[in-house]
Chain A
Amino acid sequence: MMRSASRLIVLIIAALPAAAVAQTLARYAIVGDGIPEPLTGQPGDPTRGRALVLARSSTCILCHFGPFPEARFQGDLAPSLAGAGSRSTPAQLRLRLVDASQVNPDTIMPSYYRIDGLTRVGSAWRDKPILSAEQIEDIVAYLATLRE
């Protein structure tokens, strides 16, 4: 019974046009200056998170630099990620990644888990968040290990 119901939902989602599929972002609750609960309901994997932070497609080190000796090209548009886990709680890190503009309305840091309020997004990227809920959790888990 349960299984066929969830399969039905999957089918409906697959058949919906892009704009409606876009609404399938996991829901989350902001409490204070953070998002206390993982977007996926479970903690992420810090090893995968480190690889994601270094991957060009994630865009983090276009702007940031940090304790990544193997990465030749790092940015200096943004503060070092070294010690990010000492300065912020996992809940704060999660909100910062999901939608940094909630922390600082003028920030240049993109909102990695937001699809509304954007202008002229290229067709390849339209109605998709920059990172998935799983990827955000992996990165949060990794950043939390950056202590100093």
Chain B
Amino acid sequence: MRPQALLAAALLGMALPVLAGEIAPSGRRSGYDFMSADSKAMQDDDTANPAMLSVLEGETLWTTKAGAADKSCSDCHGAVDVSMKGVAARYPAFSAASAAPVDLGQRVNLCRRQHQEADPFAPESRELLALTALIAKQSRGMPITAGGDPRLASSVARGRELFVQRQGQLNLACANCHDDNWDKHLAGSAITQGQPTGYPIYRLEWQGMGSLQRRLRGCMTGIRAQAFDFDAPDMIALELYLMSRAHGMTMDAPAVRP
């Protein structure tokens, strides 16, 4: 796309009004802000944050040769703290090959297939969580930029449509809780704004690592809806919308969450 067109798209984006119920940029708060002092301390200290074990495993995988091509990630990308800086903050990103957005886990699996000539990792596998945790850590403290690419506009719009659609036996939309009632509590838990700043996370309730997709499936099952399959186009669109909704917020991955 030519620069003028990009500029026009950016201006159009800025001109859109904040929809009813949407959170103004200055009012956005990460799930971190809602946590107890204990959980915050656990996340803040790398020696106490259980997600760092997954990051360590990711470091090993980064330099391990794999597949028919017998190449490691580092053979192509070099040092992870240089080449992967800021990358997670802009995912899901447009993939020219599929003319659709791919999230970070799917991007890792594309490299596995195309460049390592290896089988993709299963969704939520230890390996995929470890590599995405390692890559996400390289965006810590950086602002989220995903969703700005004009080629993603229709997917962002689809994600937003899903976010505001009532669904499930309880007939609730994501927005009913995360736009309209984030300052309240569902049973004992803070509802939060559903901001995707920290993924993959170590979730205390899971006693393990999990992706944003797993978290979203949890909320869908909670409202008794049919959860999207892992990597389904609507799942990626919802992830993409959440990231664009969090535009400019600071990444705190790999985070701890209750």
A binds B: yes
Residue positions of A touching B, CB distance < 8 A = 56, 59, 61-63, 72-77, 108, 110-111, 118-126, 128, 130
Contact B170 A59, beta carbon cutoff 8 Å: yes
B169 touches A62 (CB 8 A): no
9 A–B contacts, CB within 8 A, in A order: A63-B186, A77-B181, A77-B185, A108-B176, A110-B170, A119-B166, A119-B167, A125-B169, A130-B169
Which residue in chain B gives the minimum CB-CB distance to A119?
A: B167
> A75-B184, A75-B187, A110-B172 in contact; A122/B227 too (CB < 8 A)?
yes
Q: Verify if B65 is at the interface (C-beta below 8 Å from A).
A: no
Collect the chain A residues with CB atoms within 8 Å of residue B168's CB: 118-122, 125
- The answer to whether B186 touches A62, judged by C-beta atoms less than 8 angstroms apart, is yes
List residues of chain B with CB within 8 A of the CB of A125. 168-169, 224
Say whether B185 contacts A122, CB under 8 Å.
no
The reply to whether the CB of B225 lies closer than 8 angstroms to some CB of chain A is yes
- Most chain B beta-carbon contacts within 10 A, residue among A111, A121, A128: A121
Shortest Cβ gap from B186 to chain A (Å): 5
- Proximity string of chain B (154-190) to chain A, C-beta cutoff 8 Å, 1 when within and 0 when not: 0000000000011111111000110011001111110
- Give the CA-CA distance A122 to B225 in the complex, in Å: 4
Is B225 touching A121 in the complex (CB atoms < 8 A)?
yes
In this complex, how many residues of chain B approach chain A with their Cβ under 8 Å: the count is 25
With a cutoff of 8 Å between Cβ atoms, the chain A residues found around residue B64 in the complex are none
Contact (A118, B186) CB under 8 Å given A77-B181, A108-B176: no
A-B pairs with CB below 8 Å: how many? Answer: 71
A119 near B165: Cβ-Cβ < 8 Å? yes
Taking the closest CB of chain B, its distance from the CB of A110, in whole angstroms, is 4
C-alpha gap A130/B168 in the complex (Å): 11
How near does chain B come to A129, taking the closest CB pair, in angstroms?
A: 9
Cα distance A121–B226 in the bound complex, in angstroms: 6
A122 and B187 form a contact (CB under 8 A): no
Whether A77 lies near B184 (C-beta < 8 A) is yes
Query: Is B95 positioned at the interface, with any CB of A under 8 Å from its CB?
Result: no
Instruction: Find chain B residues with CB under 8 A from A122 CB.
Output: 168-169, 220-221, 224-227
Instruction: Please give, as numbers and ranges, the residues of chain B lying within 8 Å of A128 by CB-CB distance.
Output: 169
Residue of A nearest to B169 (CB): A125
**Contact status of A72 and B226, CB under 8 A, knowing A59-B170, A110-B172:** no
Alpha-carbon distance between A77 and B181 when the two chains are bound, in angstroms:
7
In whole angstroms, how far apart are the Cα atoms of A61 and B225 in the complex? 20
A108 and B220 alpha carbons, distance in the complex (Å): 16
Complex partner residue of A74 from B171, B187, B221, CB under 8 angstroms: B187
With CB as the reference atom, state the residue of chain B lying closest to A124. Answer: B224
Question: Closest Cβ of chain A: how far from B228's Cβ, in Å?
Answer: 9
Q: Are A61 and B169 in contact (CB under 8 A)?
A: no
Contact A121 B224 (CB under 8 A): yes
A75 to B220, CA, bound (A): 19
Chain A residues with CB under 8 Å of B221's CB are 122
